[in-house]
Structure 1
Amino acid sequence: MDWASKYRPKHVKELVGNSTALRQMVDWGQTWTRESRPLILYGKPGTGKTSSVYALAADLNWEIIELNASDQRTRDIILRIAGTSSQTGSLSGAGRKVILLDEADNLHGTADRGGARAILEVIRTARQPVILVANDLYQISVEIRSRCDPVQFRALPARSIIPRLRFICSSEHLSCNDAALETIAVAAEGDMRAAITMLQAAAIGRQALVEADLSSSKKDRRSTVFDLVAAIFGKTGGEDLMKISYEVDETPDTLAQWIEANIGQIGEGNRVSRAYQYLARSDEYIGLTYRHQYYTLWRYATLLMVLGVSEAAGGSGIHTRIKAPERWKKMGSYRKQKAIRTGMLDKVSSGLHMSQHSLRDRYLPTVSALADRDPAEFAREFSLDADELNLLIHDKTRSAKVVKTLYDEEKRLEKERETAERAERRKSAATRKGTERTHDTAPAQERGENQGGGQEQADTRPDVEVKDRRSQKTLFDGF
């Protein structure tokens, strides 16, 4: 068993670091009501986000329903598992059920089609606590973020990681000096899970561990495209630049798009012009590569775009946030619009018992006119959100206002139902108590009546016997 799982904290007090985030989670859990907003835990991997949810659930006696990236997270699956669970109580005797959606920023592709919109639906209708976990907060849609409270988990300092490693060494009867533990903690870069994995890798076949034994356990960290862009516009030497470019897991055409998106940060006109010349020449080699399927030419394309643009930049540095390629933003916007359109067509066509093809090609103008006449009733009937309704009535402000009104009405009705349920429970409890009180007094009355009847019999029986004896005496005397 891997040590990261074996020594996962069981309770909140066992977690390391991020005391502010943990305090916020505990306060949320202890005061949770149906009006409470879901949480989004975000931060780098290995900072304790998922472990904190399990620890909190254990402390509060909550059951956990988890969906993570290893599961298919289509709309139907999320609504069937998380949606149903969020509406019902626990059958295991636990206090509540917490719905945990891990890696919520990693919804993409066919396997997760409609997943983000299903999560939004779960959040809007949940009667149980909901927690989302993500590495990048801004990879989650604005609609979901606006309905949740964010909780940031920061990278753990080495001084917080070392005591945990020392505890694991003691539990595993492994001798390890402080220098070795510090080396592991620093190399982990704030990732507790990576630190524990590195310790376990170094400890294989050993009873004692020193700093020299750690070469095989160092964290495998590859450079990212952000590292490369920062290095190109910084003062990094040519040899180091090429080393970073080889570590980045991107093709030269993708790297060229990232570099182009940030060329504007150079500032000076002549330098910008020279940078574009290098980039254009690099693009020629990329084109030749694809045309002739001769991928050796990628080497020259990379040299030109990395070393050439670096020379043109002259170490000007990055003074603002590194920008993503504009083309990616447009593609992301297109994918979002397509997902909204598909969701709207699916809901409306299912409700009208027709195919999406027929709705889109023949009846969409008619349906749009009906929606525009009474958007509130239409949105309620087909469970449309603001974006989906906007596709039909073409009025973003009106759509948002209508959906917000429906949401507020739904909340009000939910509160009324809860109030009625509480009143019904109190009434039932009072009725049960009254019934129990009646059952308790009835036997006492019966006992009293029986005692009284017995006394009457005891009082009257001697008279009867006396009368009988008298009548018998008189009779015999007469003879």
Structure 2
Amino acid sequence: MDWAEKYRPRHLREMIGNREALRQMSDWAARWTTDSPPLILYGKPGIGKTSSAWALANDMNWEVVELNASDQRTKAVIERVAGGSASTGSLTGALRKLVILDEADNIQGTADRGGARAIVDVIRQARQPLILIANDLYGVDSAIRNLCTKVQFKALPAKSLVPRLKEICTLEERTCSIQAINDIAEQAGGDVRSAVTMLYASAIGKDTVGEDDVSISAKDSRASIFDLVAATLGYRQVPSLLDMSMSVDETPDTILQWLEGNLGVSPDRKKTAKAYAALSRADIYLGYTFRNQYYTLWRYATSVMLFGVHDVMKGRPSGYAKIMPPSRWRQMSGAKKQKNLRERLLTDLGTSMHMSSSSVRSLYFCPVSLLARESPEKFARKYSLDPESLDILINDPVTAKSIVKSIEDERKQIEKELKKRQKEEETKAKKARASKKEKKPEAQEAASIESLTAGDRAEPVKEVETKDPAEKDKKSSQSTLFSF
């Protein structure tokens, strides 16, 4: 059995590091009510986000329902699985069900159409605890992110991993040198899962693990695009930019867009112009690559963009660099979001008006917009519109947001009153049952007393003379004149 799974923490007290995050999770679970917002755990892979969620469920005696990146994240699937689990109770006797939605920052593409909106609906209607897990907090849709309490998990220092690795070696009865354990902890880069996996790979078929064994099974470390951009712009010193680019899971054309999007942070315009010239030359190679399908040119494009930009930008002091995704992506994402909102609104209107969305767009969208501006609250209630959809109709984001908020507050108030009324009815029913139980013995006692009193008043019953059966048998067996 893989050691990473075998020694996965079962309780929060067994987790390594991130004590503040674990405390937040524990407090949230202890005080959880149906009005509590869900948690979103974010941080780099392998630092214990999913394990801590399972450990929390185990500590609280909660059943777990998990969706991960391998699931088809369509709207229907999320509403059926996560939505049903979040609004219904458990059949196994557990007090509650914890719904874990892993890789919440991976809800995108055609397989996940409507997924983000479905999660928003699940969050608003959930009656069970809900935890979302993401590697990149800002990869999560903002509508989801704003409804959650954010809990950050940080990479663990190497010295925090060493005791855990020593403990595993002791439990597995393996002898590991101190240098080997330190090397594994350093190479893991704060990733607990990778550290345990590396130790397992090094110890297969061996009773003793030395430094040479670790170097053979060294971690296939992957750098992030943020690390590569920071190193190229001169914020970090690395042995080889090309080696780092090979470990980044991005294509050269994507790397070029990241570099282009972050060159504007340089205050020196001459250097910025030279850097853009290097990117322009690299883009020529990329054009040849895509036109001729000759991907060998990728290496030249990568070399030109990395070394060209780095040669211009080098010499700046190392430190923190605010690396952001290309602004073009954000603009495209906003345009795509608006298009999706518009299409969804047209579909809803077409369904209500019994016509196609294209007919609504070409013939009725303007009249409907005029009607919506006259009575926006009515439209928001009838079609269950969110602020963005209502804004498309009335072209007033402030009014749209306030109207939807008032409707949402009214809905919550009605739910509170219904819950209060339900509790009052349950309390009355309990009191009625208790009162009924108290009255039942009194009624039985009164009935028995009455029966005894009635028995005393009744006339004495005459005794009927009964004959002994033995005497009767004796008499029947007496001799007669005809007996011989």
TM-score (norm 1): 0.89
Correspondence 1:124 to 2:124? yes
CA distance in 1, matches of 2:352, 2:94: 37
* Contact preservation (8 Å) 1:201, 1:216: no
Q: Deviations over 1:170-201 (max 9, x none)?
A: 33232323332222222211111111111111
Give the corresponding residue for 1:377: 378
**Equivalence map 1:353-364=2 (5 Å):** 353-364=354-365
Worse overlay, 120-129 or 278-287: 278-287
* Contact preservation (8 Å) 1:345, 1:359: yes
Give the corresponding residue for 1:243: 243
Give the corresponding residue for 2:261: 261
- The verdict on how the C-alpha distance between 1:46 and 1:287 changes in structure 2, with shifts beyond 3 A counting, is closer
Worse overlay, 372-381 or 26-35: 372-381
* Contact preservation (8 Å) 1:341, 1:391: yes
Worse overlay, 264-273 or 120-129: 264-273
**Equivalence map 1:191-230=2 (5 Å):** 191-230=191-230
SS class of match (1:86): helix
Q: Deviations over 1:308-352 (max 9, x none)?
A: 222222433676412322322222222222232233233333333
Q: Deviations over 1:111-150 (max 9, x none)?
A: 1111111111111222222211111111122222222111
Letter in 1 for 2:170: S
* Contact preservation (8 Å) 1:230, 1:317: no
CA distance in 2, matches of 1:327, 1:383: 32
SS class of match (2:98): strand
Give the corresponding residue for 1:344: 345
1:210 to partner: Cα distance: 2.2
Give the corresponding residue for 2:103: 103
**Equivalence map 1:307-346=2 (5 Å):** 307-316=307-316, 320-346=321-347
Give the corresponding residue for 2:482: none
SS class of match (2:105): coil
Give the corresponding residue for 1:402: 403
CA distance in 1, matches of 2:163, 2:299: 46
Worse overlay, 419-428 or 54-63: 54-63
Give the corresponding residue for 1:427: 428
For structure 1, the residue ranges without an aligned partner over 5 or more in a row are: 466-479
Give the corresponding residue for 2:280: 280
Give the corresponding residue for 1:469: none
Q: Deviations over 1:42-71 (max 9, x none)?
A: 112122211122111122222222211111
SS class of match (2:99): strand
Q: Deviations over 1:344-403 (max 9, x none)?
A: 233333333333233223322232233222222222222211111111111111110011
Letter in 1 for 2:178: D
Alignment coverage as a number of residue pairs: 462
- The verdict on how the C-alpha distance between 1:431 and 1:74 changes in structure 2, with shifts beyond 3 A counting, is same
Give the corresponding residue for 2:415: 414
1:294 to partner: Cα distance: 3.2
Correspondence 1:169 to 2:182? no
Give the corresponding residue for 1:37: 37
* Contact preservation (8 Å) 2:221, 2:247: no
Letter in 1 for 2:403: V
**Equivalence map 1:436-447=2 (5 Å):** 436-447=437-448
CA distance in 1, matches of 2:238, 2:183: 29
Letter in 2 for 1:147: L
1:238 to partner: Cα distance: 10
* Contact preservation (8 Å) 2:230, 2:236: no
For structure 2, the residue ranges without an aligned partner over 5 or more in a row are: 464-484
SS class of match (1:366): helix
TM-score (norm 2): 0.89
- The verdict on how the C-alpha distance between 1:160 and 1:428 changes in structure 2, with shifts beyond 3 A counting, is same
1:109 to partner: Cα distance: 0.8
- The verdict on how the C-alpha distance between 1:309 and 1:367 changes in structure 2, with shifts beyond 3 A counting, is same
Percent identical: 49
Q: Deviations over 1:440-470 (max 9, x none)?
A: 222222322333344445xx539x78xxxxx
* Contact preservation (8 Å) 2:281, 2:304: yes
The CA RMSD measured in Å over matched residues stands at 2.4
